[in-house]
Structure 1
Amino acid sequence: MNNDRVLIRTRTAADDEACVAVMRRTHELDAYPIYWPSSPAGFLRAKGETDAWVAVDEADGRVLGQVALHRAEGEPVLALAQEATGLPAERLAVLARLLVHPDARGRGVGRALVRTAAARARATGRRAVLDVLQSTTGPAALYESEGWVRLGPTSLDLSDRGFGDVPPLQLWVYLAPEAG
């Protein structure tokens, strides 16, 4: 998929360093991820990942962003998504780790990554769901402009993830539009 000289391709291990750099810059400016992980590359390649892509500037080869799909296993989005769709967990895919370098914003990078991941979920018989911090407005506006439906709130307890004594994350859960 091309978009304003941006190529979306499968993420490889060779992209890890560049993806971590994008995540670091996003964290510095937007506090996403809200807590910096002890293993940044491990955070990006989280357990349950089934597919992942990067957005690359065709002119200079720079990685501009990334996104992944994960199996819906123990995710906070799972209960709301199953209730809304009636689908079993294996028919859901969690869109996660959407990152766009701040310098690349406004070029359609995030939109292209979201569309790529949602299309892959549909092509494999799954429906994409995601969660996003309630305190952010930009990502939610992107999802809503793409037809994603806000299902409701949930929270994510991070107490067992090595971040110390931090409050649970307050999240919105979104469901991708049906194919058609």
Structure 2
Amino acid sequence: MVIREKAESDAAACLELLLEVHRKDHYPLHITAGQVPEFLESGHEAAAWVAEEDGRIVGHVALHTPPADPTLELAGARTGLPLDGLALLARLFVAPSARRTGLGRTLLRHAAAQAPALGRRAVLDVGQTLASAVALYEAEGWSRVGELHLPLDEETMLDLWVYVSPPAGAQ
């Protein structure tokens, strides 16, 4: 297994993998398969990595630095950290065939460890119903700093927990 920076040439394989994850787990929550490409290409990616095994991409994680984001705003308000000192850990997904191998944990640790190189600390949000993801973040020492309830439309609310990574060198 190799973790490496994502290249432009990885776009199609990353999309294929995320569509597979979406079919199996409905991640990302509350979007259709047709919306997955736009979700993956948010335009705010500061850095991203893929996990590759035998020439096949089996995992992905990114750090995003959007100009405005409710998750970053909440984390900044609760921790006192400046918004330009935070990065959103995003688009963390692993192939169903590579699950239960520690790959998600490895990608999480890798991205959080790279955030200081951008002058930032990692923050993430997670659907409150995604118990295994919540358990992973808490086992890795991430601190829950609050919750967000984001209306997606008149009938759908996205309920999220917000977490901040452990300080650099704490793991």
Deviation per residue, 1:85-134 (Å, 9 max, x gap) = 21221100000011101110011211111111111112222110000000
- Provide the residue aligned with 1:162 in structure 2: none
- Provide the residue aligned with 2:112 in structure 1: 118
Task: Check whether the contact 1:68–1:97 (CA below 8 A) recurs between aligned residues.
Answer: yes
Which residue, 94, 97, 114 being the options, matches 2:91? 97
* Greater fraction of residues in helix: 2
1:152 aligns with 2:152: no
Provide the rounded CA distance (Å) in 1 between the counterparts of 2:118 and 2:61: 17
Identity %: 48
Cα drift, residue 17 of structure 1: 1.5
Task: Check whether the contact 1:148–1:175 (CA below 8 A) recurs between aligned residues.
Answer: yes
Runs of 4+ in 1 over 3 A off after TM superposition: 37-42
Q: Give unmatched runs, 5+ long, in structure 1.
A: 1-5, 160-164
- Residue identity opposite 2:15 in structure 1: V
- Provide the residue aligned with 1:178 in structure 2: 167
1:85 aligns with 2:74: no
- Provide the residue aligned with 1:7 in structure 2: 2
Provide the rounded CA distance (Å) in 2 between the counterparts of 1:112 and 1:14: 23
- Provide the residue aligned with 1:3 in structure 2: none
SS state at 2:156 partner = coil
SS state at 1:98 partner = strand
Which residue, 17, 34, 49 being the options, matches 1:22? 17
Provide the rounded CA distance (Å) in 1 between the counterparts of 2:122 and 2:89: 6
1:43 aligns with 2:39: yes
SS state at 1:63 partner = strand
Provide the rounded CA distance (Å) in 1 between the counterparts of 2:4 and 2:51: 7
Deviation per residue, 1:114-171 (Å, 9 max, x gap) = 1111111122221100000001111111111111011121022334xxxxx5512110
Provide the rounded CA distance (Å) in 2 between the counterparts of 1:37 and 1:43: 10
